[in-house]
Amino acid sequence: MEVQAIRMKEGDDKNIILASREIVKEAILDLYCSNFPERLNIADMGCSTGPNAMLAISEVMNVIDQKRRELGIGPVQFQCFLNDLPWNDFNTIFTALPEFHEKRLNKDPKGSSCFVEGMPGSFYGRLFPDKSIDFVVSSSSLHWLSQIKCDFIPDIHVLKSRSKEIVTGGRMVLTIIGRKVDDPTEEDNCFQWDCMANALMDLVSERFLEEEMIDSYNILFYPSSLTEVMNVIRGDGTFTVDRLEIIEVEGPPTVGTDGVRKGDQWAMNLRAVLEPIFIDHFGRETMDALFSRAAYHFNEFFSIRNPKFTCFVVSLVRNDRKSSDF
Ligand SMILES: C[S@@+](CC[C@H](N)C(=O)[O-])C[C@H]1O[C@@H](n2cnc3c(N)ncnc32)[C@H](O)[C@@H]1O
């Protein structure tokens, strides 16, 4: 098994996808070149919405198209499943699809065809029929837990479900936000939640919110250690690790080229992820005030610290072991 460390200068969710590009490329080429299939079913788990939603899937298709052209092989039919939770904004993705298809067609009128489908549901449960999927990618999503548990470990059900759905020899590349140290309370892992907690407490002092609302709220986010990730893979037993890399991602620069302060940028990025989750509990009317207080706390924090994030990119192959029922 190969373990390498890559260091990156700046990072956000998009940069994490780009950093894992080589590993995805290697995995998809291994799969494609094993028998040059004319049809491939690929899925992105936790695709989100907006410009990144089609990025991972597009990369996969582009890699295969480039290879098949080099080899003089005809087009592939891709069936692409975009998965996220049911309340994800799938409509925004769907409305961007005509433009996406048009661009692909303009680039190569005789190119591979691509059929895109939304697959709402939790990736901890079943999403697809037995042995129907060839390739799965997932980026920056598996640190969201399915439920509050006493034992905070990555949830094995994500592998158990995929082990039924992915064909033998099929591949899966997971990019997981994790932690380098065993201590889950280490500052680099917790600063965002400390800043969010401070912002929430500001709203309590300003009488926007009741303190009980904060005490009764749990965020289902858990960055795993490498040992925990490996234990889950071994515990499931139906996937073999082909490659594993540890990526260190730095946050945005103190002031971006566009003049936006790092804390403001951070609060804005985090808002995109957290707002849909927070609205139910804290109310839509609280969001502007909450994230403007959060930006203040992030700016304070970044003026004294420059935290780094750790990601694990794990490339897995579905082996021929029978999956256990659960
Ligand atoms: C930080 S975004 C990552 C988006 C995209 N993959 C990227 O790399 O930019 C995490 C996504 O995972 C989704 N997610 C979280 N838990 C999920 C679950 N149990 N099943 C499906 N999607 C989930 C969230 O809704 C969110 O859209």
pLDDT, tens only, 168-218:
999 999 999 888 887 777 777 788 899 999 999 999 999 989 999 999 888
pLDDT at 4: 45
CB 155 within 8 A of CB 145: yes
Pairing of strands 308-318, 239-250: antiparallel
Among 124-133, 138-147, 235-244, which stretch is predicted with the lowest mean pLDDT?
138-147
The closest-lying atom of ligand 1 relative to the alpha carbon of residue 49 is 27
Average pLDDT over residues 228-238: 92
pLDDT at 87: 87
Distance 34 CA to ligand 1 centre (A): 30
Average pLDDT over residues 79-102: 95
pLDDT at 103: 94
pLDDT at 148: 52
pLDDT at 25: 96
Percentage of the residues of the chain whose pLDDT score is greater than 90: 59
**b (16+ CB within 10 A) / e for 286-295:** beebbbebbb
**CB of 309 shorter than 6 A to ligand 1:** no
User: Which residue of 84, 266, 275, 279 sits with most ligand 1 atoms within 8 Å of its CB, as the best mutation to test the pocket?
Assistant: 84
DSSP helix/strand/coil, 219: coil
Give the pLDDT band of residue 311 (cuts 50, 70, 90).
Answer: confident
pLDDT at 20: 84
Residue identifier of the C-alpha nearest atom 23 of ligand 1: 46
Has residue 149 got a pLDDT over 60?
Answer: no
pLDDT tens per residue, range 289-310 = 999 999 999 999 999 988 888 8
**CB of 189 shorter than 6 A to ligand 1:** no
Residue identifier of the C-alpha nearest atom 11 of ligand 1: 46
Has residue 44 got a pLDDT over 70?
Answer: yes
Q: What is the overall mean pLDDT for the chain?
A: 88
Average pLDDT over residues 127-138: 97
Task: State the burial class of residue 265 (Cβ atoms within 10 Å of its Cβ: 0-12, 13-18, 19+).
Answer: buried
Give the pLDDT band of residue 269 (cuts 50, 70, 90).
Answer: confident
**CB of 161 shorter than 6 A to ligand 1:** no
The closest-lying atom of ligand 1 relative to the alpha carbon of residue 13 is 9
**CB of 41 shorter than 6 A to ligand 1:** no
pLDDT at 257: 63
Q: Which residue in 171, 172, 231 sits closest to 46, CA to CA?
A: 172
Q: Is 170 left (phi over 0), alpha (psi -120 to 50) or beta?
A: beta
Q: Which residue in 253, 248, 262 sits closest to 300, CA to CA?
A: 262
Distance 306 CA to ligand 1 centre (A): 25
CB 50 within 8 A of CB 12: no
pLDDT at 252: 59
End-to-end CA distance of the chain: 28
**CB of 49 shorter than 6 A to ligand 1:** no
Average pLDDT over residues 108-136: 96
Q: Is the dihedral of CA 260, 262, 264, 267 positive or negative?
A: positive
pLDDT at 323: 84
Has residue 249 got a pLDDT over 90?
Answer: no
Q: How many CB atoms lie within 10 A of CB 173?
A: 25
pLDDT at 8: 42
pLDDT at 112: 96
pLDDT tens per residue, range 51-78 = 779 999 999 999 999 999 999 999 999 9
Average pLDDT over residues 256-282: 84
**CB of 123 shorter than 6 A to ligand 1:** yes
